[in-house]
Structure 1
Amino acid sequence: MDDTDDDSSPVLRHTVRRHAAQGDSRQVADLAVELTDRIDTATKETHEHRHQLAHLVRVLAITPGHDSLSQLLRLFDRQQGHGVDLAPRFVASLLAEHREAADLVGPLSERDAQGRLDELRICLFHELILRGVDVDAFPGMSDWTRVVHGGHPLAWLPRRRGALETRIVLPSRSVDSGARSAGVTLPTEGRVDPPTPRTRERSALVDSATLDLHQMIIAAPEAGGWGHSEAWVFRTDEEVEPDRVPALLPTLPMGCVEGLGATGRFEIARRPADAIWNLLFATASLGSAYHHGAHGSFGRLWAWKSMAALSDAPPDASAEEVERHARRTTWFHFESDAEWFCNDAFTDYGIAALSPDRRRIAVLAATDTD
């Protein structure tokens, strides 16, 4: 516990010390219990107030018309109190879903010397790009990516929707309904399941993923609040042909295939790069059964970052370079009956990426369970 003497009421301190000096420790403890109860009550009230605030902000964002937008921006223009979060990522997602870009550009482009709209603007900028808006057609949006206080992680993203961003799953919400992912299913097209029984011989390859690389690969499921995710990277001495990967994966020293055996279910399909990008984007942006996700702007960022790490793009690569690298990578989507996965419908998936030089296999496994 922190030392709070400097912040305590002088009257309270005097009373407590008097009781302690008189040997009345029970009174001191009773005061502590009373304050604990007050803190618990205040915490519950604060949680309820935040829930109510979120609903009010949601109503203003979704309600059509200039006035509702003006009143919403008035909330952002205020100096927010301690602990108050108007959730600009979420608000930007709602505004992009329910309003036309032409109706947003004027009010959002007004002078904001304090930078209180910075986070909302840059998130909204990328939400609109995801929805196919040509932001260059609105000169007022040119300053939305500039923030008053330093740089911003979203500045790395391209100003146009990339060729891989074509199968985007976007939310559909109302005042009372939220967004939930439709879940993940392995497609029937492109199936390359290895024949069973598979070999029981284990691969001698060793996981070489560093902590930083591991964290970057799992960035999308982490951002989406999925229950658990892991990553592995294996480097080979010789080139691996894509048609060898389906049989090789179940033999690798990975928790997501441990105990699978020679006949356990292991289903796999080759996927185009844009399908993998969309899977990562939906994971990050829409979230899990118990998490609202990172929403569109940051979902876009973390989908790209996971894809960069999986495809072995250089650490300092631009989004355009990552896209070129991803297109030369061979992608696989798999499911497994290994105990690592929950194996409930729509809650598990694995991604494997064979790098362009065919000497590196990276794997991401995610499950929406703890």
Structure 2
Amino acid sequence: MPESTTATTTATTLPNDASLRVYAVTDPERLYDLAVEPARGAPTWYAPEVLKLVEFLTAGHSQAATDCAVRLGEHAARLGEAPGAAALMAHVAHELVRRPSSAALRPHFEGPPVADDPTTEFRASLLHEMALRWGLRDEPYVTFQAGLRELGHPLSWLPLASFYFENAMRERSWMRGAMLSSLRPEELYAAYPAIPPTTAGAEAGRAARRVSDGRRTEAAVAPLAELGRYAAEFFTLPVALDPVDFNSGLLTALGSTCLAGFTPETLATAHTTADDVAGDLFVPAFDGGMWGDGRPRAYSRLVTWRAMYALMDLDLSVELGDAVRAAAEHRWLRLAPGRSDFFFGDLSDVAFAVLDPTRTRVAVVAATDTD
């Protein structure tokens, strides 16, 4: 059957769930044919009846069912700008990687990626969703990744390793519909080590100088771009800061736009770790907040890591393993800001600050969302 780039409005009645479950085992081609049927009845390829077919098809772990599911993802890739095609392609990859084993997916990486072939995009995204899920070390994955690098594919910047550092990203990537949640001060201090303000911190903040850097700002806020409001700001200090003075006293004296209106007493501040920051950056990148659509898991991982590099002011030539080690040398704060001129104070208010190893550079990233 030729592939259609549009969907019609003529309804197609699917078999009942019991029949679909049987087809997934005995005749996965039938599920594939139903999914690509031009008269399946929806104006978008990302339609409930197609998603149901994806669910049953990807639940079949046989090689035949896996092959049909991959073909469906490739079909979606070929549809280009057709309504819902990109979302369907991402959904197929997402569901394939939810399974417990990658064994049946391996044959789909035995051929090299091909420039200008839309199915290369599907396989690249699937490869790096698999990399986050399992970590990949064997052929043919390494060869396929090398081919992506030769093509200059953006995902080839990511490694096939899956770092323990990425556990928060990995866990949250299974929860479509999850959102950032605002913390009240008492919740923050119940979960994270509190850090009180100091007079020396406030004095250091008043001496700080704002640094404009469009490249770093763009990268730092990219995971937050579908939220209601977001910002990243960078500052330098004239002398090295005593780590004990990296606190709300310093942050509220910086002249930060997103922290305007807070005092050392009203800005709740606690110690955290870099992987916690990465996890919270990943959530809006993947799910898009209240109104956004989010990105595929692989691209959410990409923009999250590039945001972490921007916050640490690392060059993209630095290997991710070295970036993980560098993150441990920085100091990270989680803030519970509450309502202000910047923060909506509604559903999702999140802010972090980071101090570099020289203790002379501070970065702040913040976001807020509402319904």
Which letter maps to 2:43?
A: H
Which range is displaced more, 236-245 or 59-68? 59-68
Aligned residues: 312
TM-score (norm 2): 0.74
Task: Give me the whole-angstrom Cα distance separating, in 2, the residues matched to 1:241 and 1:159.
Answer: 38
Look up the SS of the partner of 2:67 in the other structure.
helix
Equivalent pair of 1:158/1:320 in contact (CA under 8 Å): no
1:49 corresponds to 2:49 = no
Which of residues 114, 117, 120 is equivalent to 1:115? Answer: 117
Instruction: Report if aligned partners of 1:125, 1:141 keep a CA contact under 8 Å in 2.
Output: yes
CA shift, 1:163, in A, is 3.6
Match of 2:52 among 59, 63, 66: 59
Q: 1:278-317 maps to which residues of 2 (within 5 A)? A: 278-317=279-318
CA contact (8 A) 1:61 1:69 kept: no
Partner of 1:71: 68
Aligned: 1:326 with 2:319: no
What is the identity, as a one-letter code, of the residue corresponding to 1:245? F
Deviations 1:266-308 (A, max 9, x none): 1011112222222222232233122232232111111111111
- In structure 2, the gaps of 5 or more residues are 1-40
Q: Distance in 2 between matches of 1:61 and 1:319?
A: 33
Q: Is the Cα contact below 8 Å between 1:351 and 1:365 reproduced in 2?
A: yes
Corresponding residue number in structure 2 for 1:254: 256
**1:142 matched to which residue of 2?**
142
Aligned partner of residue 166 in structure 1, secondary structure: helix
Structure 2 counterpart SS, 1:194: coil
What is the alpha-carbon root mean square deviation over aligned residues?
A: 3.1
Deviation at 1:318, TM superposition (A): 2.5
Kindly report structure 1 stretches of 4+ aligned residues shifted beyond 6 Å. 198-202
Kindly indicate whether the alpha-carbon contact (under 8 Å) linking 1:227 and 1:368 is maintained by their aligned counterparts in 2. Answer: yes
- Tell me, in whole angstroms, the C-alpha distance in 1 between the residues paired with 2:269 and 2:236: 21
8 Å CA contact 2:334–2:353 kept in 1: the answer is: yes
Contact 1:228/1:368 (<8 A) preserved: yes
SS at match of 1:343: coil
| 1:12-23 equivalences in 2 (<5 Å) | none
Q: Rg bigger for which structure?
A: 1
**Which amino acid in structure 2 is aligned with residue 191 of structure 1?**
A
Kindly indicate whether the alpha-carbon contact (under 8 Å) linking 1:61 and 1:95 is maintained by their aligned counterparts in 2.
no
SS at match of 1:49: coil
SS at structure 1 position matched to 2:78: coil
The match for 1:183 is 181
Offset at 1:184? Answer: 4.8
Distance 1:368 1:288 in 2: 7
Alignment partners' CA distance in 2, 1:278 and 1:112: 30
What is the DSSP-based 3-state SS (H/G/I as helix, E as strand, rest coil) of the residue aligned with 1:230? strand
Contact 1:193 1:266 (C-alpha < 8 Å) held by counterparts? no
Letter in 2 for 1:219: A
Cα distance in 2 between the residues matched to 1:150 and 1:140: 17
Indicate how the Cα distance of structure 1 residues 60 and 210 shifts in structure 2: closer, same or farther if over 3 A, else same. same
2:259–2:342 Cα contact (<8 Å) kept: yes
> What is the deviation of 1:187?
5.4
CA deviation profile, 1:172-200 (whole Å, cap 9, x unmatched): 47xxxx5323635435321114379x979
Q: Percent identity of the aligned residues? A: 24
Deviates more, 1:289-298 or 1:186-195: 186-195
Instruction: Check the 8 A contact 1:257/1:340 in 2, yes or no.
Output: yes
Greater mean alpha carbon deviation, residues 55-64 or residues 307-316: 55-64
Deviation for aligned residue 1:328: 0.7
Structure 1 unmatched ranges of 5 or more: 1-46
Distance 1:199 1:360 in 2: 15
The answer on 1:83 being equivalent to 2:81 is: yes
Q: Give the conservation status (yes or no) of the 8 Å contact 1:329–1:353.
A: yes
Deviation at 1:319, TM superposition (A): 1.8
Residue of structure 1 in register with 2:211 after alignment: 208
